[in-house]
């Protein structure tokens, strides 16, 4: 039975509706991990370090897709809740067209400036060459990357989360299969890894584009739409938290790499890259639930259904809190086997990474509440609070911790920086959730 945004959500219904976004994020994480596996094991440690240096930069540029996807999702869902379907379709179409224009512009800039970007990252010699090759291919594919992120969000608002999952699985399988052929069979090295990623993104963006251009049974369809500066500005402001979160994460990753290069060289960068790949799996569950539940919150907020808002608020807090505990325990138990997938060939790298991940994974205990809290305020169209939570969590607290802690406890301070950041952020999130419950009538 099809679940609609207007339904009353029990635990079972809420989990069923968010299951597809969660699985979608896990799939995205898995095929990112496969990239790392093939490069690390079949291309080498230096190319793997290049991937980990460049990836945060290309992700930072692609944050426009996360911003428009999350902010537009709230605007469109609220408009649907107000029973203005035709207007919602115009907003949806306008935002897709605007995303396409911005991504092409950013793509051209990135391709031209990639050598300068590699220099700024501190890469030289062989490492610099790998960075330029990998970065230029990924920058050239910014259009499908941005559209894939936008459509993943809008498919949920269109009441088609299961289609979003299927498309993500297809894109992931495409990436993984091409990784094998381009890297292992054809021996194209790091260029093959980048090309496989780019073609996976093409698959993930082209299919939903065709779907929305044709007659379909969802709530949304691409149509002619004028550019609406006010709606675009509201979308960007509301989605700024997602952009801040992803942009800050990219900047922080670059800072981590600088610190690790100083303390541990290429081994440190490789270890951090492995931790990030493994972290993707666990964090995907939090992000998937947050993005999956957000349109439901937006719809009932737009419909002024206060009882359902209270229901969603209570259930989400319980689910995210309980999941955080389970994820932390699982991460501690599975640290060794997960790390060995990437670093089993190098004992020194394996031991460093395993210890780092066990310290890093303590953050999962609080991470779910913080990720969901930021998304919850985005869904309520309060981009300012959402951005504040994201900025403090992903940038300010982590920056301070990753700069200060290594002065006292060495490399362990880098792995614990995220734990300190999540701990401080959970108090900020609780403060905003408690303070705004009367304003939005969810308490």
What's the domain count of the chain?
Answer: 1
Structure pTM? Answer: 0.73
Percentage of the chain modeled with pLDDT above 70: 98
What is the token pair recorded at 317? 């807090």
Range of the domain at 153: 11-440
Is pLDDT at 212 greater than 90 in this prediction? yes
**Confidence class for position 289, pLDDT limits 50, 70, 90:** very high
Lowest mean pLDDT among 26-40, 273-287, 368-382, 402-416: 26-40
**Confidence class for position 361, pLDDT limits 50, 70, 90:** very high
The Cβ of residue 186 has, within 10 Å, a number of other Cβ atoms equal to 11
Is pLDDT at 147 greater than 90 in this prediction? yes
Own/partner long-range contacts of 86-92 (Cβ < 8 Å, ≥24 apart): 88/219, 88/220, 89/220, 89/221, 89/223, 89/225, 90/223, 90/225, 90/226, 90/228, 91/225, 91/228, 91/231, 91/235, 92/154, 92/157, 92/220, 92/222, 92/225
Pairwise CA distance, residues 6 & 305, whole Å: 9
From 399, 117, 44, 107, select the one nearest 253 (Cα to Cα).
Answer: 399
With beta carbons less than 8 A apart as the criterion, state whether 327 and 284 touch. Answer: no
pLDDT number for residue 32: 67
Residue 286 lies in a domain: yes
Residue 369 lies in a domain: yes
The average pLDDT across 209-238 equals 91
Is pLDDT at 96 greater than 60 in this prediction? yes
**Confidence class for position 241, pLDDT limits 50, 70, 90:** low
Residue 253 lies in a domain: yes
Residue 3 lies in a domain: no
Helix (H) or strand (E) holding 383: helix 383-391
Residue 5 lies in a domain: no
pLDDT number for residue 384: 85
Is pLDDT at 1 greater than 60 in this prediction? no
Residue 272 lies in a domain: yes
Question: What does the mean pLDDT of the chain come to?
Answer: 88
**Confidence class for position 302, pLDDT limits 50, 70, 90:** confident
**Confidence class for position 65, pLDDT limits 50, 70, 90:** confident
At 196 the three-state DSSP class reads helix
Within 13 A of 418's CA, how many CA atoms are on the CB side?
25
Residue 421 lies in a domain: yes
């Amino acid at each position: 039975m099809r679940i609609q945004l207007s339904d009353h959500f029990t635990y079972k219904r809420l989990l069923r509706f968010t299951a597809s976004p969660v699985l979608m994020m896990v799939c995205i994480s898995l095929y990112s991990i496969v990239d790392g596996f093939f490069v690390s094991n079949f291309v080498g440690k230096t190319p793997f370090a290049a991937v980990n240096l460049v990836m945060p930069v290309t992700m930072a540029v692609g944050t426009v897709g996360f911003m428009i996807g999350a902010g537009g999702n709230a605007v469109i869902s609220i408009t649907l809740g107000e029973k203005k379907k035709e207007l919602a379709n115009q907003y949806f179409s306008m935002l897709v067209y605007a995303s396409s224009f911005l991504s092409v512009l950013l793509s051209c800039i990135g391709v031209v400036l990639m050598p300068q970007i590699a220099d700024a990252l501190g890469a030289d010699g062989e490492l610099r060459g790998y960075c330029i090759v990998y970065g230029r291919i990924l920058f050239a594919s910014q259009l499908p990357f941005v559209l894939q992120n936008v459509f993943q969000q809008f498919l949920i608002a269109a009441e088609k989360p299961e289609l979003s999952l299927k498309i993500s699985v297809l894109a992931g399988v495409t990436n993984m299969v091409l990784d094998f052929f381009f890297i292992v069979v054809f021996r194209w090295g790091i260029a093959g890894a980048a090309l496989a990623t780019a073609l996976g993104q093409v698959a993930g963006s082209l299919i939903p584009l065709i779907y929305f251009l044709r007659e379909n049974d969802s709530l949304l369809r691409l149509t002619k739409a004028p550019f609406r500066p006010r709606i675009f500005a509201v979308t960007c402001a509301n989605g700024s938290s997602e952009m801040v979160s992803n942009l800050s994460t990219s900047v922080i990753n670059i800072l981590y790499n600088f610190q690790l290069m100083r303390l541990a060289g290429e081994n440190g960068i490789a270890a951090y890259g492995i931790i990030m790949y493994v972290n993707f799996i666990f964090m995907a569950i939090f992000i998937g639930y947050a993005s999956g539940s957000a349109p439901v919150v937006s719809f009932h907020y737009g419909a002024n259904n206060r009882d359902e808002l209270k229901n969603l608020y209570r259930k989400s807090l319980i689910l995210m809190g309980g999941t955080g505990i389970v994820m932390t325990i699982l991460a501690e138990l599975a640290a060794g086997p997960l790390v060995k997938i990437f670093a089993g060939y190098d004992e020194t790298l394996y031991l460093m990474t395993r210890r780092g991940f066990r310290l890093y994974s303590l953050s999962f205990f609080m991470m779910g509440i913080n990720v969901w809290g930021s998304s919850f305020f985005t869904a309520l169209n309060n981009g300012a609070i959402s951005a504040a939570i994201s900025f403090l969590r992903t940038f300010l607290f982590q920056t301070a911790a990753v700069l200060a802690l290594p002065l006292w406890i060495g490399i362990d301070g880098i792995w614990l920086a995220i734990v300190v950041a999540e701990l401080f952020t959970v108090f900020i999130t609780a403060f905003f959730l408690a303070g705004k419950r009367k304003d939005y009538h969810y308490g």
